[in-house]
Amino acid sequence: MGDPVAADDSMIPDFGLLTSPKHAAVGKTSHVEASYQLIIDNLMDLSHVGYVHTSTIGNSAFGGKAQLKVQRTENGVNATRLVADIPQPPLYVKAGVLPEGKNIDRWSSMTYVAPAFIIIHTGGAEAGTGALEGQYDHGLNLWVMNAMTPETATTTNYFWASVRAHALGNFEADELFLNGVSEAFEEDRAVLEAEQQVINRRGDSWSLALKADAASIEARRVLERAIQEEEAVALQRSPAVAA
């Protein structure tokens, strides 16, 4: 899309985990009848995992008492969400990597790169063993790679993959994560498409943004600025067309 002259391949984010020999990736492309912006909002506010995904990657404890840090980066936003000492969600129990029956500390690091890429590094480790201080290696490490390609203003081709660092070459683990994350994304789709329908009727307004939306709002600010910059460049190149 857009003017090929304006393309800068140094801006392509690193999705090398998808082909890394030390990782295993499974994924799909979903067609979502909602704007790519709503999918970005959704991925940057993972408090929803505690309400929407309780049969797979979440539980009610995950939605509540989180510590959220939000930082701007050169071309996006990085947000870290930590939740201490909570039960393992169903998909983590099925993965069987963490000590059975033990509570865990969970981390999620969401890296948004404008305009429409998000890499999430998430996981958990036995509570009190250093995950809250950034020691992740001994835990269950998962990544979700997301590329949201707008099809129209209100529909998106959503490319996603789930990446893990354990059980490489294990077909059952491939199935577990493909099915688990697919199930979660189908739940997201229901919420996103309902949001889009409400927005179509009433307009998009952030006047009711909550504290948990901090990272989503920051990502929207970066996106808005990127769109303005691109429009300014387009205007300089061909004033007649852009006007």
Q: What is the binding site for Fe ion (CB under 5 A)?
A: 188
**Residue 12: which region, alpha, beta or left (left: phi > 0; alpha: psi -120 to 50)?**
beta
Identify which of residues 3 and 95 has a Cβ nearer to Fe ion in the complex: 95
Which helix (H) or strand (E) covers residue 181, if one does? helix 171-202
**What are φ and ψ of residue 153, in 5° steps?**
-65, -25
89: Cβ contacts below 8 Å, ≥ 6 apart:
53, 54, 56, 57, 58, 59, 62
Residue nearest to Fe ion (CB): 188
Looking at residue 200, its amino acid is N
- Report, in Å, the least distance between residue 184 CB and Fe ion: 5
Rounded to whole angstroms, the Cα distance separating 110 from 120 reads 4
What is the smallest separation between the CB atom of 93 and Fe ion, expressed in angstroms? 19
The residue with tokens 């070459």 is: 169
CB of 238 to Fe ion, least distance (A): 40
The least distance separating Fe ion from the CB of residue 34, rounded to whole angstroms, comes to 12
Of 41 and 188, CB closest to Fe ion: 188
Q: Going along the chain, which residue ranges are E strands?
A: 24-32, 66-73, 76-86, 104-113, 117-126, 140-152, 155-164
3-class state of residue 64 by DSSP: coil
Taking the alpha carbons at both ends of the chain, their separation in whole angstroms is: 19
For Fe ion, give the closer residue by CB, 58 or 115.
58
Q: Which is nearer to Fe ion, 156 or 201 (CB)?
A: 156
Q: Which is nearer to Fe ion, 51 or 102 (CB)?
A: 51
Distance (Å) of CA 95 to CA 61, 110, 159, 185:
19, 22, 23, 18
Distance CA 181, CA 20 (A): 20
Q: Name the minimum Å distance from CB 229 to Fe ion.
A: 30
CB of 235 to Fe ion, least distance (A): 37
Q: 41 vs 105, which CB is nearer to Fe ion?
A: 41
Q: Which is nearer to Fe ion, 193 or 230 (CB)?
A: 193
DSSP state letter for 98: S
CB of 53 to Fe ion, least distance (A): 6
